[in-house]
């Protein structure tokens, strides 16, 4: 077994001697420990040493250091307390090490099963959410009930989040009902997680129903509204509702953020409402909400859907002025707009920008080929198709379709 001196050496090496410790007098009076460092090092690992390590685990910035200290404690022949485990688990979840957090929970279950509390379970369920293991999250929630551990907002919220990440909207809504049956008031986080589940599950009607249920119980916040608007963007029939929700936010004193505007613009894109999308973009400047690449991408898509190529080119110009990153999908959307608007020359210019930067993809070629077909530029169409293998891009059906249509138009397809 490691000696107390080894334990202190480990704490020193990690610079984790707890606050309030003094080399000469030990801990100050407020700490509750009167032993000096020397006296503690000579002791046979009394309870105060465990408290020292617990405090050190709490001070760790990185989860790796927390685990190292727990191993050190076990190496000294002392089983870490449930509190030490809980602290380390939470740090693992915070830093994205969800697998390690669940391993610690398993260890805690075997060594201190009676000490498992709501915090232990909520942290483990949160770890499941990080790992998209919604079924495991529900199993832990059931286990809490079996062990008589109260299932509070944090545990339920983490379980709903786990389901939301996997689009399990029905289960998320059922968990909300379970909370109410158990007399647990859902927090805003619980509602928003359930809204996110409806969004990811492509259920705008359910999201809107939940938003209405919230109003008298828990006033929706900006995340609630933005998520419901995002759900509306998944169905072209709900684009007007998305705009209505944006207006409702203002009426209820909730200031729309960039995510809310981006979601509303995406809804306009889904519904082909390019004029409304442009209005939203102008409105953002008036209200002091800076549009980002996501907003511009949605507005570009809206313009592309209706062949508004002049507006699409203007949007790209605005993005450059704002020093926003113009990625391949944004330029592809503009090419699509040019194609639908029969502006094949402008489409070729945009395509040339992508090939010059080496960022053209199969969608860039598909959109440009479609633009050339609509512009009757069949020779250029064939040359562009032949160019694709040389650039390491394999044509897909969207690339071949305008070529086959061109053959059909000229009668060449009949000659084989």
DSSP, residue by residue, 131-150: TT-HHHHHHHHHHHHHHT--
* Positions of the chain with pLDDT lower than 50, given as ranges: 1-4, 16-47, 413-416
Q: What is the pLDDT of residue 9?
A: 62
pLDDT at 384: 95
Question: What radius of gyration do the chain's Cα atoms show?
Answer: 30
pLDDT for the residue 52: 63
Per-residue model confidence (pLDDT) at position 42: 34
How far apart CA 10 and CA 73 sit, in angstroms, is 10
Give the SS3 label for residue 278: helix
Instruction: Output the pLDDT for position 2.
Output: 41
73 CB burial (10 A radius; 0-12, 13-18, 19+)? buried
Distance CA 145, CA 317 (A): 58
**Phi, then psi, of 36 in degrees rounded to 5:** -80, 170
Q: How far is Cα 385 from Cα 395, in angstroms, rounded to an integer?
A: 8
In angstroms, how far is CA 66 from the centroid of its own chain? Answer: 26
At residue 165, the pLDDT reads 92
Closest by CA position to 364, among listed 319, 328, 403: 328
22 bridge partner residues = 26
pLDDT number for residue 32: 30
Integer Cα distance of 107 and 29 in angstroms: 34
* Beta-bridge partners for 27: 21
The model's pTM is 0.79
Q: In the prediction, which pLDDT does 80 show?
A: 79
Check the CA dihedral 200-206-209-213 and report its sign.
negative
């Amino acid at each position: 077994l490691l000696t107390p001196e080894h334990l202190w050496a480990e704490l020193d090496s990690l610079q984790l001697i707890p606050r309030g410790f003094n080399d000469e007098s030990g801990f100050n009076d407020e700490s509750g420990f009167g032993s000096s460092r020397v006296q503690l090092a000579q002791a046979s690992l009394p309870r105060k040493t465990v408290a020292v390590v617990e405090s050190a685990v709490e001070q760790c910035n990185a989860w790796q250091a927390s685990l190292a200290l727990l191993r050190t404690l076990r190496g000294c022949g002392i089983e870490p307390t449930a509190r030490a485990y809980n602290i380390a688990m939470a740090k693992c979840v915070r830093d994205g090490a969800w697998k390690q957090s669940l391993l610690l929970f398993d260890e805690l279950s075997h060594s201190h099963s009676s000490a498992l509390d709501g915090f232990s379970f909520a942290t483990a369920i949160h770890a499941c959410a990080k790992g998209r293991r919604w079924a495991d999250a529900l199993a832990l929630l059931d286990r809490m009930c079996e062990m008589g551990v109260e299932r509070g907002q944090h545990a339920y919220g983490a379980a709903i989040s786990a389901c939301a990440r996997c689009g399990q909207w029905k289960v998320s809504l059922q968990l909300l009902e379970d909370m109410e049956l158990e007399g647990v008031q859902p927090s805003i986080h619980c509602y928003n997680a359930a809204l996110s589940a409806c969004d990811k599950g492509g259920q705008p009607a359910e999201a809107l129903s939940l938003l209405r249920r919230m109003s008298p119980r828990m006033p929706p916040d900006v995340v609630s509204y933005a998520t419901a608007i995002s759900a509306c963007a998944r169905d072209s029939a709900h684009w007007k509702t998305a705009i209505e929700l944006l207006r409702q936010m203002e009426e209820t004193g909730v200031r729309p953020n960039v995510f809310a505007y981006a979601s509303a613009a995406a809804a306009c894109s889904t519904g082909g409402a390019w004029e409304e999308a442009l209005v939203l973009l102008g409105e953002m400047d008036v209200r002091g909400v800076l549009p980002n690449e996501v907003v511009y991408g949605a507005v570009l898509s809206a313009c592309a859907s209706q062949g508004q190529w002049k507006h699409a080119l203007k949007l790209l110009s605005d993005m450059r002025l704002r020093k926003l990153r113009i990625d391949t999908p944004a330029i592809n959307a503009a090419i699509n707009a040019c194609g639908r608007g029969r502006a094949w020359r402008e489409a070729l210019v945009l395509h040339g920008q992508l090939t010059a930067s080496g960022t053209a993809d199969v969608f860039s070629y598909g959109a440009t080929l479609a633009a050339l077909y609509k512009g009757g530029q069949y020779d250029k169409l064939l040359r562009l198709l032949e160019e694709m293998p040389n650039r390491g891009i394999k044509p897909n059906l969207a690339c071949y379709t305008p070529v086959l249509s061109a053959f059909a138009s000229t009668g060449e397809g009949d000659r084989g």
